[in-house]
Structure 1
């Protein structure tokens, strides 16, 4: 059975160590999927506690602010570590364990202070989240190598998607049939057990030691920063890709805190239906990741990039114009198919533009731009939803995504 699992988890022609790493990455995805199934319910929980739009938006803006302020410094730190897997695994464990701590806070913190206590906890979690954001791409690229990024990530994200789909559906039913807030306490506690699975297998990933530049240890901060900026600017494909991706992500992160608010306040959806929305989106990822792997091989990365960004741009606009839960579930499923392609092509295209031996610091720069979009957009979304309405704010997020799609369309084939 284990041999069959290894055959599914990795292409058969890989060396033994790489096949083992593929398998560890896939089992890690199961643990991450179990724990991460709690993520869509955290803003819902805060909303039901009476949190404002601004407070809910902090769940997105706080990790973004930490990443924006510390992302490059953490990238420089990780670039100096020979064993980056250790940092990745420990940081991931701390992030996922936070759901268990959230459940504990429900028990011990008075209700008048509970929203603030939960937000403080997740503010502290932003530090290991930033470490994960930088180290994840480096570790996955090290496991996959330049020829097997689609193979690795389609498998990982498919397993992650189906695990989250099943777990989210079950969690939604538990939340529906148990009294509040005990239901959230039980769900957060049970799902956080996935952190143990994740740590047990991700910590065993075997990668060669990272090369360490002596200059990065001896030069002044100003000299290193000047050298870094010059080095980044010389990598024109990297600069062009991350700049356009930044605009597209503004549209994506603008909608992130709006969806749970729209489901609760406009649609009046139950926890069970909200679980179905997330299940529909993540379940389709299983098909989408393998489909886009084959499509990309047949049609190329440029085709995948353009079709997927166009499809995902429609998602918030369509949701904003319906209150029917069945229609929203259908739209979420279709959006999940296109999102699978974006996950794959963004990862592959980013790593293509990064020079050898500089993965950690270049990924840190790319993540800093991602965090900048995640910091600006949710604050703007809260302001827009209060000033106008949730449907208008969701529609605007789709328009910004279409702007990103148009800029990707202008990229020459050699750049994508």
Structure 2
């Protein structure tokens, strides 16, 4: 791809994320909204676990579908538009006479079908249109845009939700998210997406899938290692997705305004992190950063479990946000490089499927574990599990030839 085209695509990827970040910030209050409309702890868990199950069931089939299609542009943009429009249903949830929580979970479950199709095309595409040498800077710019926008919008939305009457406060916020997400889709549609390699498929589809999976296990050890390590490492993060709103709102008495500040500080920390981690990556390499950032990320869970004070948790959120870009940028780049370029869609489909199965089981287990041992004790257990997952990257290392070659001397 020509340098001018690459530069244009990189600019568009930053611009689209600005608008997407507004929507992301608004939708980050979804769990709190579910609690406000009467959703139980189980419903809050299902909000994420059901979505993960849909992604787990559809990621590999969608990846195999796209592997046979050279021109994936219409599939990527069409699925993105479908999932954006699907969120419109959140605006109308309060008008239902009953079963609002159940309807919200069902809606988001259906939306995740186009989400899975979009990811099957989008994630491999990122490796195709952005060369390895430019990715750290691009992802830093995207993360900076995401962090600044989410920080401002979550803070403002938290204030708005506290000031305006329910449910119109949430409905107008979701309307803003819808408009912003559609503007993001316009920028994605302007990307110059090159044709992708096509993989020929034999008629015996199921046998082919099994053969592909066996080949991955036996021949692609770096991919297997990063999949296992990430699965264990992310259990704490996945389970904390429904756990934190329950812990903060139900046990510590957090308001919507506090949640807005909490989310804003995480984003503010990400801004700081995105100023630091890319420089460390350029100096020491992706693997060096991944090992240290994953270990540091466990600190947040220890702190919020050991110190259940809403004011101090806001400071811990800033720390967590600063660490997260180190994990995200280094991990995603290593993941892209351990996937063979011609099979990247299938490999990413396998990875996403495994992660979503873990996400589904972790979030589904959240509510019963809260009832069994309590939210605070569960947070501390997750901290230990997060640290164990980080240590896996040391004892079960991930090595990719292109990453090693790109490592600074």
TM-score scaled by length of structure 2: 0.94
Q: Which residue of 2 aligns with 1:37?
A: 25
Alignment of 1:14-413 (within 5 A): 15-106=3-94, 108-110=95-97, 112-214=98-200, 216=201, 218-233=202-217, 234-412=219-397
CA deviation map 1:88-122 (0-9, x unaligned): 2332333333333201222x311x22111111111
CA 1:414/1:184 → structure 2, altered by over 3 Å: closer, same or farther? closer
1:62–1:126 Cα contact (<8 Å) kept: no
Aligned residue pairs total 400
1:63–1:129 Cα contact (<8 Å) kept: no
2:67–2:198 Cα contact (<8 Å) kept: yes
| Distance (whole Å) between structure 2 residues aligned to residue 305 and residue 364 of structure 1 | 22
Q: Which residue of 2 aligns with 1:4?
A: none
CA 1:222/1:270 → structure 2, altered by over 3 Å: closer, same or farther? closer
Cα offset, 1:231, TM superposition: 2.8
| Distance (whole Å) between structure 2 residues aligned to residue 184 and residue 291 of structure 1 | 35
Structure 2 segments unaligned to the other structure (5+ residues): 404-409
Cα offset, 1:412, TM superposition: 4.4
| Distance (whole Å) between structure 1 residues aligned to residue 52 and residue 143 of structure 2 | 23
CA RMSD of aligned residues (A): 1.7
Structure 1 segments unaligned to the other structure (5+ residues): 1-13
| Distance (whole Å) between structure 1 residues aligned to residue 293 and residue 41 of structure 2 | 29
| Distance (whole Å) between structure 1 residues aligned to residue 306 and residue 38 of structure 2 | 25
| Distance (whole Å) between structure 1 residues aligned to residue 285 and residue 114 of structure 2 | 35
Cα offset, 1:141, TM superposition: 1.5
TM-score scaled by length of structure 1: 0.92
| Distance (whole Å) between structure 1 residues aligned to residue 57 and residue 399 of structure 2 | 33
| Distance (whole Å) between structure 2 residues aligned to residue 258 and residue 72 of structure 1 | 28
